[in-house]
Amino acid sequence: MGMNDWYQRQFGDRGAFALSVSLGVDPHRSGLASRDLSWGALEIWAGGRCLTRSVSEGGVSDGVRWTLLPVFEWLLDVGLRLVNEDPYPRLSHGIDVPDGVAWYDATLHPPVARAEADAERRWFLRRSEWRHHHALRRAAEDVVLPNIVFRRLGDHTEVSWDNEAWSVARKDVQFVERRGRELVSAATFASVVRTMLVDVLRELARKTSDEALVGLAKRADGFVAGVQDWKWLVHRATATLIRGEMPDLARELDAAAGQTAAGLYVPHSPTTSVLRHARLERRADVEAVLRTSALLPGQSVAQDVRALIRPRPAASRRPWDDGNDYAEEVRDALGWGTDPLPNLVRWMSEQGLAVPAQDLGVPSMISVFAERTDDARAIVHVNPNGASRMKREIGWATALGHVLLDECPVAMDGDWEHWPTSARARAFGVALTLPEEGVRAFLATSSAIGKDEVRALGAKYGSSPLATTFRLKNLGLISRDQQMELAHLAS
């Protein structure tokens, strides 16, 4: 707290998520009461890290100190979307995206090369719109703010930051936290944001009769989610479709939001937990996906599988390492050693998972569907019409990886699933199919790895050239260029 500060309060827990605000005397008064009174410092904490800590010629400071009114106004303007908007816009097609900051980097160019003028304009506007509602630096361009992006991720809020690639304009200021990501409870995040706005703006309004501050305080008091704000939890096109063509489903989702929303926060319902994963623009596609989810069995999976369920967040960097390692643990636990996999569809069915192998009408953009409930009921489905060749070929093993490792109850891999959980499950599927020890032993007598070795290894383990070369690359036995060449030659 500064020497002349008249207000200071922390909201939330620094070990999870917290905002700390102090207000003092503006040394550069403008004469506008609302701006002058809001001079102070803002600290942002996530997972025990102070994301606003900076180093400058003046020393080390935990807070960003400036006129904070633009930040408060921005939070009032974007808060509902900031707290609840889950899916990304469709601009990073085919690119693995570990977090919100990386999404912005991955969409620097239109998703289609040489896009038409109208398409390029839509890309620019949609990307800019998303950034405005999620990136802290959009709150006040005249304030030296760290590059932090907030976004909803299921039951979490993802807080990601990158002050390496996107430094501040002032060369004399450097933020201590360079690059990272934390997952915090979305309910906690929403409560901290709203409580801070209500308390700080009330105090500012009490301090003066300034009409602007009184109006902002009233806005904060009434700042709550409505029954239709489930729309942020799913893709915009899907929400529009449901509103226009599926009135019964719209009423169901309105009722769920009305019963569970708390402050700014709208919890996911079982339906939005499923629909958040894919941009569905046809009624038939929405119905097919929800029908698939409804095929969950009535009983929990067998004890052998239950003992292997270890839900945890996927790392934002190198999530595949966890998938590779856990596949080896699963093989050991089940006594599969380095042998080829059993028939996974039959084995999972025997273990109590629902494994519908027929065409369920799921759109081709979804190649793998997996769902696991809190009481360990599970369904996995590989779409025979899925557009992703890789995910069709290792789909059953990938789906099992989602069931065993994902925190989120539902996963859909395909055009729209590029989260770390997807990369981890994909690596799990390939490693489960091609055990490291078995692969190395098989190739021990080979002087080089060519198409014949790829074909022979694939024949032993029942894997395609695409999956086989993917595993060889991950094990460091071939380069990425060799992978691309051998996958083609051995096909």
Q: Which helix (H) or strand (E) holds 11?
A: strand 7-13
Instruction: State phi, psi for 230 to the nearest 5 degrees.
Output: -65, -20
Q: What is the pLDDT of residues 252-271, one digit of tens each?
A: 999 999 999 999 999 999 99
Please give the pLDDT value at position 262.
96
Q: What is the pLDDT of residues 78-133, one digit of tens each?
A: 999 999 999 988 765 556 678 899 888 888 887 766 667 888 888 889 999 999 99
Please give the pLDDT value at position 459.
94
If one compares 418 and 292, the residue with the highest pLDDT of the two is 292
**Domain ranges across the chain:** 7-221, 303-433
Distance of CA 269 to the CA centre of its chain: 17
User: pLDDT confidence of 209, banded at 50, 70, 90?
Assistant: confident
Q: What is the pLDDT of residues 424-476, one digit of tens each?
A: 999 999 999 999 999 999 999 888 899 999 999 999 999 989 899 989 998 99
Please give the pLDDT value at position 384.
92
Which of these, 226, 212, 225, 218, lies nearest to 197 by C-alpha position?
218
Q: What is the pLDDT of residues 334-381, one digit of tens each?
A: 999 999 999 999 999 999 999 998 999 999 989 999 999 999 999 999
Q: What percent of the chain has pLDDT over 70?
A: 96
Which of these, 62, 38, 83, 48, lies nearest to 195 by C-alpha position?
83
* Rounded-to-integer distance, Cα 167 and Cα 107, Å: 18
pLDDT exceeds 70 at position 302? yes
* Mean pLDDT score across all residues of the chain: 91
Please give the pLDDT value at position 253.
98
Please give the pLDDT value at position 96.
64
Cβ proximity of 51 and 146 under 8 Å? yes
Burial 19-58 (b: 16+ CB within 10 A, else e): bbbbbbebeeeeeebbbbbbbbbbbbbbeebbbbbbeeee
User: pLDDT confidence of 172, banded at 50, 70, 90?
Assistant: confident
Q: What is the pLDDT of residues 32-55, one digit of tens each?
A: 777 888 899 999 999 999 999 999
- Can you tell me the mean pLDDT for 206-221? 92
Please give the pLDDT value at position 36.
82
DSSP assignment of 328-393 equals HHHHHHHT-TTSPPP-HHHHHHHTT-B---S-----TTEEEEEEE-TT--EEEEE-TT-S-HHHHH
Structure tokens at 35: 């701006």
Count CB neighbours of 248 within 10 A.
Answer: 8
pLDDT exceeds 90 at position 60? yes
> 112 by DSSP, 3-state: which?
coil
Please give the pLDDT value at position 305.
96
Please give the pLDDT value at position 113.
64
Please give the pLDDT value at position 415.
58
- Can you tell me the mean pLDDT for 172-185? 93
DSSP β-ladder status, 156-162 and 179-185: antiparallel
Please give the pLDDT value at position 115.
63
Which of these, 369, 372, 370, lies nearest to 384 by C-alpha position?
369
Residues in contact with 36: Cβ distance below 8 Å, sequence separation at least 6, in sequence order: 26, 29, 30, 67
pLDDT exceeds 90 at position 166? no
* Rounded-to-integer distance, Cα 2 and Cα 69, Å: 18
> 168 by DSSP, 3-state: which?
coil
Residues in contact with 311: Cβ distance below 8 Å, sequence separation at least 6, in sequence order: 405, 406, 407
Structure tokens at 142: 């005249």
Please give the pLDDT value at position 381.
96
Residues in contact with 300: Cβ distance below 8 Å, sequence separation at least 6, in sequence order: 306, 352, 375, 376, 377
* Rounded-to-integer distance, Cα 76 and Cα 382, Å: 43
Structure tokens at 236: 């915009």
Which of these, 202, 262, 200, 192, lies nearest to 226 by C-alpha position?
262
